[in-house]
Structure 1
Amino acid sequence: MNRLVDIFQFSENFPLIFTQANFWIFFAVVYFIFALLYKKIKLRNSYLFLVSLFFYYKTSGLFVGILIFSTMLDYFIGKSIYGTPSQHKRLVLVTISVCVNLLVLCYFKYAYFFTDSFNALFKTNYEVMNWLGYWGNSFSQQNYFTLDKIILPVGISFYTFQTISYSVDIYRGKLKPLDSILDFGFFVSFFPQLVAGPIVRAESFVPQISQKTVVTKSEFNAGTFLILKGLIKKMIFADFIAMHFLDRVFDAPEMFSGFANVMAMIGYSLQIYGDFSGYTDIAIGLALLMGFQLPINFNAPYKATNAGDYWKRWHISLSTWLRDYLYIPLGGNRRGSVASYIILAIILAGVVIAFRNWYVFAIVSAIVLLVIVLAFFSTSVKSQVNTNINLMLTMLIGGLWHGASWKFVIWGGLNGLGIIVYKFWRKISPYENKTGWLAHAWKIFITFMFVTFTRIYFRGESMEHIEKWYLQVANNMDWAHAWDIIVHYQMVFWVMLIGYITHWLPETTKANVEMYYAKSPIPIKIMVSIFVGVLCYQAFSADFQPFIYFQF
C-alpha cells in the first residue's frame, strides 16, 4: 500500500521512468481502469488526458502548468484559425501560435545560451533572471520555484513541436480543429510519448481520437514485443555499457588512451541508439496496448549508406517535421531566401564565437569569401549555393534543437556538410551504383564512422572536453595496451558486439523473430517476459539512469 502511495505522490527524486518498477505498477493501475471505460470514447480521452497530466506532474512537478498553457493557447488559436475567413487574420493567428510557442521554448531552453553568446560577443556580464519563477512565487506564500537558475521542463521541445504542427496544419487546411479541449489535451500530452517522442503529427493522431478502441491480437503481440525489445535496448545495450565503460572515459578522456577514447565513441553510438530507440519502442508498444498508433521513429539507422540516408532512418519524426515545417517553407532545394542567408550568417558567427580562436575565424571567413567570389563569377556555383543553403540551415537548427550549445550547432553543421558532400560525391563515386555486398558494406562502414565521430560534439561536455578527446586520439593511441583494454572491459565489448550484430541482422531475420514470438502460446510469452525481466534486472543499477533525450 505504501508503494502505491509513493507512486501516486509527487517526488522530484522519483519520477516515473519506463525502466523502473514503479512505472509498471502505475501503468497496471492505469490500464485496469482504462479497460473499464475504453468503450466510452469521450470518457476514455478525458481519462487519458488526466492520467497524462499526472504523469507529467510526476516527471516535472509544477512545470505541468507550461504544458496546460500550451494546450489552451493552441486549442483556442486553432479554432480561431478555422473559423476565420480572412486569410490575413489566419496568418496573424498562426504566427502568434508559432511565436508564442517558440518564445516559451527559448526562455526555458536557450536563455543561458543566448545570454552567454551575447556576453561573449559584446564583452558584457549580463546574468539570466528567472522571471517566471519570480512571478510564480509572488502569487503564493511559499517559494515553489528556484530563482537562481532556469530549469528545463522535460520534453518541452517535443510537445512544443506537436502544438505548432496542430495550428499550422489547420492553417494549411489539412486538419479540422477538435471540438473538445480535453481531446486536444489528450493529443498534446499522451503520456507514452510525451517526454521523449516520437513527435506526433496532428494530422495522423487526431483522427484516432474519435475512433473506438480496438486492440487486436496482432497489436497486443506487437506491443508487448516492442516493450520487451525496448527494455533490452535501454538497460543492456545503453545503460550497461555506459555505466561500466563509456561514462568513465568521457568523464576524464585525458586519463584514458586514444584507443579507449575511440572505442568509447563507437560504444556511444550504440548507447544513444539503444537509449532513444528503446524509449520509442516502449512508447509505441504502450500506445498499441491502448489502441493507438504512434509513428515509427527509427529504421535501422546504422544500415544507412550515406549521411542523407541516415537522417531518413534516425529520429524520423524530427527529420520529417523539420522538412515539412522548416526546410520546405524556407524554399527547399529550389532557392535560398533572404531570411535563409541572414539566419545562416548569424549561426556561422556564433560558431566562430564558440571556438574563440582566430584560426577558426580566419578559416570560416576565407571559406565564406571564396564561396561569394565563386558564386559571383559562376552561375553553377550560385545555383548550388541556393539549392543547398536551406538544407544546411535546417541541419544547423536541428542541431540547436538538440541542445542549447554551439557544439550542437557544430554537430548539426557537420551532418549537413556530410549530406551536401555526398550529393557531389555520388556523381563521381566508383562504387555508387554497385550492388555487391562488399561495396554496400563499405558504404555502411564509411557512413557509420562519419556519424559516430561527429557525435563527439554531441557527447562532449564542453569544447575543452572535446579538445582533450582529440588530443588523446591524435597523440596517445597507445596500441601496445589496446588488447589490455579489451580484456579488462571484455563484458562491455561483448555486449557492444552483440548489440551491433543484432542491429545489422537482415530485416527478414528480425521479422521472423517477431513472428515466432507472436505465434508462440501464452506460457512461452510469459517465460520470455520473465527472462527479459531477469536479464534487465541483472544489468540494473541503483544509480538513476534517465533517458538521454529527456534533456531535449
Structure 2
Amino acid sequence: MSMWDVIRDFLVNLFSFDQAHPLLFTQFYFWAFFALVFAVFSLFHSKALLRNGYLFACSLFFYYKTSGVFLALLVFVIVYNFFAAKGLGKLKSNKARSVLTAVSVVVDLGILAYFKYAYFLTDFVNSLLGTSFEVHDVLGEFLNALTGVNLFRVDAIILPVGISFFTFQAVSYMVDVKREKIAPVENFLDFGFYLSFFPQLVAGPIVRAVEFVQQLHKPYNLSRRWFGIAIFWIMNGLVKKLILADYLAVNFADRVFENPLLYSGFENLSALFCYSLQVYADFSGYTDIATGVAMLFGFYLPQNFNSPYKAVNTQQFWRRWHMTLSRWLRDYLYIPLGGNRNASAGTYIIIAAVAVFGSFLSGSWWVAFGVALLAAGIGLWAWKKPGDRKLITTNINSMNTMLLGGLWHGASWNFMIWGGLNGIGMVIYKIWTKRSLGGKLLIIGLTTALCGTLSFTLHYPVWNMFFV
C-alpha cells in the first residue's frame, strides 16, 4: 500500500461517520481529537473572533462524528433561531414580539417532539382510539426526495444526540431576547458557537445565552491554578464514569436487573441503591468532564450537581440535582404557569392532559372523572378559603412542572411517573413544613435529620423507573 493510499484511507475515516463508534468522552479518539483541537487553538487563542469561529467549526465536526447527518438539524436550529432573534430585536409591538417568540418556541419544541416523542405519542393515540398508526419519518422522506440521496431512514425515527439540550438552549435564548434580558447576538459565528459548543453539547449542562455569550470576547486567561482545576474536573469525571458508573453497571446492577429472580430480596434492593449511584456517577461524570474541557478553552459552565444525595428533602434534592434543568423548568415553565402566585390557562391544560394520559395508562375513563372531581374539590377549597389559594396553585404548578420535567428525561410512562413521584414529594414537603412545623426550631431540627435519611433512601428506588 502506497503512502497516498494510507493518507486517503486516513482522510476517509476522519471525515466519515460510524454509527457504531460515535465520538464520546470516554473513548481514546475523543482525547486525540481534543489534543489536536487544543494544540491548534493555542496558536491564536488571543484573537477572539478567530478563536470562536475555529471552535464553532470544531464543534460542528464533533457533532457530525457523534450524530452524522443530524448535523444538518443542528445547523437548522442555529440558523433559524439566529435570524428569528434578530427579527425579534427589530420589532416594537409587544403583540408581534409575543407571536414571533411563540412561533419560534413551537418550532424548537416541535423539532424535539418529532424526534423524541413520535413513538410515545403514536402508541398513545393507537391505544386511545384503537387505531394502528405506525411511525414513519416523513421529514426524512422529504429530505431524501429533496436531495435525491437516501441520507435518512424512513422506517424509523432516530433520536439525534443532544437534541434535548440544544433545543432547550434555543428556547431559553428566544424567550430571554423577548424579555430583553439579552440583546440578539450580532455575529452568526458567536451564536452558532454558543449553541454547539462541543463539551456540553451531548450531555449538558443546559447553558443560557446570558451566561455564555458574555464570555465570548473576553481575553483568554488560563492560569496554572485554573489549569489544575480543569484537569481535576476532567479526572474526577473520568473516575466517576469509567471506574464507578461503568463498574457498578457491568458487575452488579445490570446482572441483577436482567435476572432478578436469581437473586435474593436483599440483593435486588442493593441493586436499586447501586443503580442510583450509577445514574449519578454517569451523569455528573459527563458534566465534570465538560466543565474541565470548557475551562481549558477559557469558558466556564454553570454548576450542574451539588451533592444531591445529601439533600434533606425532595425540594432541596432538585436544587442540587441537574441544577441547570431545574432552573430552566422554574424560569420557563413554572413561573409562566403562574409560579407561586396563581394558576394560568396552561395549568388547567396540563391537568386535563394528565387526566387523559392517566385514563389511557389505567385503561379506564374513571381516572379522568376522578381527576375532574379532585380538581373540582380543590377549586371549592380555594373558593371557601381564599387564604389557601396561593398554597394550592403553587403546589399544582409544582406538580405540573415535575410531570413535564420527567417527560423531558425520556419518552415513556416510566419517566412521567418518576416525575410525578418527585412532584408528590415536593408537594407533601411544602404542605408539611407550612402546616406542621411552624416556628418550632426543635421539631424542625429533628425533622430535618429524619427527612435527610428518608430523602437519601427514598430517591434510590424511585430511580428504578429509569431502568424499567
| TM superposition score normalised by structure 1 | 0.79
**Are the counterparts in 2 of residues 351 and 409 from structure 1 also a CA contact under 8 Å?**
no
**Alignment map for 1:390-429 (pairs within 5 Å):** 390-427=397-434, 428-429=436-437
Deviation at 1:256, TM superposition (A): 3.1
CA-CA distance at 1:9 after TM superposition: 3.5
Closer/same/farther in 2, CA of residues 25 and 97 from structure 1, 3 Å limit: same
- Return the alpha-carbon distance in structure 2 between the equivalents of residues 148 and 279 of structure 1: 32
Tell me which residue corresponds to 2:95.
88
The amino acid across from 1:384 in the alignment is: L
- Aligned mates of 2:402, 2:144 — CA distance in 1: 39
1:455 equivalent in structure 2 = 463
Is 1:172 equivalent to 2:179 in the alignment?
Answer: yes
CA contact 1:331–1:337 (8 Å) conserved in 2: yes
Does 20-29 or 342-351 show the bigger shift?
342-351
| Aligned 8 A contact 1:351 1:410 in 2 | no
One-letter amino acid of the structure 2 residue matched with residue 352 of structure 1: S
1:62-211 equivalences under 5 Å are 62-211=69-218
Q: Output the amino acid matched with 1:143.
A: N
Q: Is the Cα–Cα contact under 8 Å of residues 437 and 443 in structure 2 kept in the other structure? A: no
Return the alpha-carbon distance in structure 1 between the equivalents of residues 221 and 449 of structure 2. Answer: 42
The residue aligned with 2:255 is: 248
Matched-pair contact (CA < 8 Å) for 2:355–2:368:
no
CA contact 1:121–1:353 (8 Å) conserved in 2:
yes
Counterpart check, 1:323 vs 2:366: no
1:438 CA drift (Å): 7.7
Once residues 148 and 415 of structure 1 are traced to their aligned partners in structure 2, the CA distance between those partners, rounded to angstroms, is 36
Q: 1:382 to 1:41 in 2, by over 3 A?
A: closer
**AA partner of residue 113 (structure 2):** C
Residue deviations 1:5-51 (CA, integer Å, cap 9, x gap): 54554211111111111111110001001001211111111110110
CA contact (8 A) 1:426 1:432 kept: no
What's the secondary structure of 1:91's corresponding residue?
A: helix
Instruction: Report the CA distance between 1:440 and its aligned residue.
Output: 5.2
Counterpart-to-counterpart distance in 2, 1:404 and 1:267: 24
Quote the Cα distance in structure 2 between the aligned partners of 1:184 and 1:200: 13
In the TM superposition, what are the counterparts of 1:260-271 in structure 2 within 5 Å? 260-271=267-278
The normalised TM-score by structure 2 is 0.92
What is the match of residue 3 of structure 2?
none
CA distance in 1, matches of 2:267, 2:438: 34
**Farther off after superposition, 425-434 or 276-285:** 425-434
Which of 292, 305, 315 is the aligned partner of 1:285?
292
Give yes or no for contact 1:77–1:97 (8 Å, CA) kept in 2: yes
- The count of residues paired between Structure 1 and Structure 2 equals 460
Q: Is the 8 A contact 2:341 2:390 kept in 1?
A: no
The separation in 2 between residues aligned to 1:383 and 1:304, in whole angstroms, is: 26
Q: 1:485-538 deviations in whole A, cap 9, x for unaligned?
A: xxxxxxxxxxxxxxxxxxxxxxxxxxxxxxxxxxxxxxxxxxxxxxxxxxxxxx
Range 119-128 or range 252-261, more displaced:
252-261
Does the Cα contact within 8 Å between 2:340 and 2:391 map onto a contact in 1? Answer: no
- Equivalent residue in structure 2 for 1:32, among 39, 60, 80: 39
Contact 2:418/2:465 (8 A) holds in 1: yes
Report the CA distance between 1:339 and its aligned residue: 2.1
Amino acid at match of 2:99: V
Moved more, 11-20 or 45-54: 11-20
Higher relative contact order, structure no. (Cα contacts within 8 Å, ≥ 6 residues apart): 1
Deviation at residue 262 of structure 1 after TM alignment:
1.2
- Secondary structure of the 1:330 match is coil
Q: d(CA) in 2 for partners of 1:452 and 1:129?
A: 37
Give the deviation of 1:251 after TM superposition: 2.5
Partner Cα distance (2:393, 2:449) in 1:
33
* Superimposed CA distance per residue, residues 387-444 of structure 1 (whole angstroms, 9 cap, x where no aligned partner): 2211111111101111111221111111011011011222425998459998655332
- The C-alpha deviation readout for 1:65-88, integer Å capped at 9, x for no partner, is 110000001100111111222222
Of 57, 60, 66, the match for 2:67: 60
* Partner Cα separation in structure 2 for residue 191 and residue 52 of structure 1: 5
2:238 to 231, 244, 253: 231
| RMSD between superposed Cα atoms in Å | 2.4
Return 5+ residue gaps in structure 1 as ranges: 461-552
8 Å CA contact retained: 2:437, 2:444: no
Q: Which residue is 1:506 aligned to? A: none
1:336 matches 2:343: yes
Question: In structure 1, what is the Cα distance between the partners aligned to 2:267 and 2:446?
Answer: 28
- More displaced stretch, 322-331 vs 444-453: 444-453
> Is 1:302 the counterpart of 2:275 in the alignment?
no
Instruction: Give the Cα–Cα distance (whole angstroms) in 2 for the partners of residues 268 and 212 of structure 1.
Output: 43
Cα distance change of structure 1 residues 437 and 282 upon mapping to structure 2, 3 Å threshold: farther
8 Å Cα contact 1:350-1:406 kept in structure 2: no
Residue deviations 1:268-304 (CA, integer Å, cap 9, x gap) = 1100100000000000000000100100000000010
Distance 1:236 1:438, change over 3 A: farther
- In 1, the alpha carbon distance for the partners of 2:439 and 2:384 equals 33
Partner residue, 2:228: 221
Instruction: Give the distance between the partners of 1:259 and 1:430, measured in 2 at CA.
Output: 39
Provide the rounded CA distance (Å) in 1 between the counterparts of 2:308 and 2:10: 39
Q: Does the C-alpha gap of structure 1 residues 236 and 441 become closer, same or farther in structure 2, counting only changes over 3 Å?
A: farther
Aligned to 2:353: 346
Counterpart amino acid of residue 47 in structure 2: K
Cα distance 1:141–1:81, how it changes in 2: closer, same or farther (>3 A)?
Answer: closer
Write the letter of the residue equivalent to 1:326.
L
Distance in 1 between residues matched to 2:379 and 2:48, nearest whole Å: 59
Structure 2 unaligned spans of 5+: 1-5
Q: Which amino acid aligns with 2:463?
A: R
> Equivalents in 2 of 1:337, 1:46: separation in Å?
43
